[in-house]
Amino acid sequence: MGLLEAKVVLVTGGGRGIGRATALAAAEQGARVLVNDLGCDLDGSGQDGGPAEAVCAEILRAGGEALADCTDVSDFSSARALIARAIERWGRLDGVVASAGLGHHTRIGRVTEGVLTRAMDVALRGPYGLLQAAAEEMTSRGGGSIVLSAGPEGLFGFARRSLDAVTAGAIIGLGRSAAIELRRHGIRVNVIAPTAATRITCDSKLFESISPESMRPQDIAPVTIFLLSELGRDVHGEVLGVAGERVYAVEAREAVGAYSDAGFDPAQILERWAEITGS
């Protein structure tokens, strides 16, 4: 019996890369999977139901149950409609994995307002609306698990990836806050920060020196399955980094800091900088 036997799991961005690997793994563990993927280009343009349909076909051939969807979940109303489709088909919703995203390799000075708006719609507004709609449904049914995805740029920064860093940082804050707020309703919210070779990251400088085979989308899926399943029932508000064979927790750092009864002037801040920063 699989870890997700008879559960219903929605995966956005499920037609390619990490989302695809997650959808297939969830089905293998017994879940009924709603595979959502707009099938757009890397810049968010276009629409193609082919990727989601291909993943569903693969699940069906393996004896699983799945439904394809190419709704653009970059706004609250479409996110609600997607949740409603899962309920209409299977009568329940146990897990949500928000994997949809775009890739932006652009210097800060070249980011236009339109590009920024689209990035925020897909990578922040969409997951926020999805979380809100899923939480409402799960609260009425006794709980569930929500897994958000945020690139490591949101934790560590990265040159030419400011858009991804902005949205990822926001998702981390959303995930940790939602975990605190929704825990009393039996809803677990966690964040994964994956590093893997996908069409979004394949031209990254990281893979100039590291083989893409050492960091595959398939390596991310077991962590997501853990968070969706009862094995992760006590895990709330974590940010888990995954890079190939390495899985690690990321925590906010707060130094002990320095104290002054009289307060600090700028010169004293410099003088006690190592103490303030704990370096």
Q: Which of 176, 171, 129 is nearest to 150 (CA)?
A: 171
User: Is pLDDT above 90 for 33?
Assistant: yes
Cβ-based neighbour number of residue 77 at 10 Å: 10
Q: Name which of 82-96, 114-128, 233-247, 265-279 the model is least confident about.
A: 114-128
Which domains can be identified in the chain, with CATH numbers?
Answer: 8-254 (3.40.50.720)
Separation between Cα atoms, residue 43 and residue 41, nearest integer Å: 5
CA-based Rg of the chain, rounded to a whole angstrom?
A: 20
How would residue 213 be classed by pLDDT, with cut points 50, 70 and 90? low
To the nearest whole number, what is the mean pLDDT of the chain? 87
Of 52-56, 209-213, 228-232, the poorest mean pLDDT is in 209-213
Give the pLDDT confidence score for residue 222 in this predicted structure: 95
> How many beta carbons lie within 10 A of that of residue 113, not counting itself?
7
49 pLDDT exceeds 80? no
Query: Count of CB atoms within 10 A of residue 167's CB?
Result: 27
Q: How confident is the model at residue 113 (pLDDT cuts 50, 70, 90)?
A: confident
Cα dihedral 59→12→216→196 (10° resolution): 180
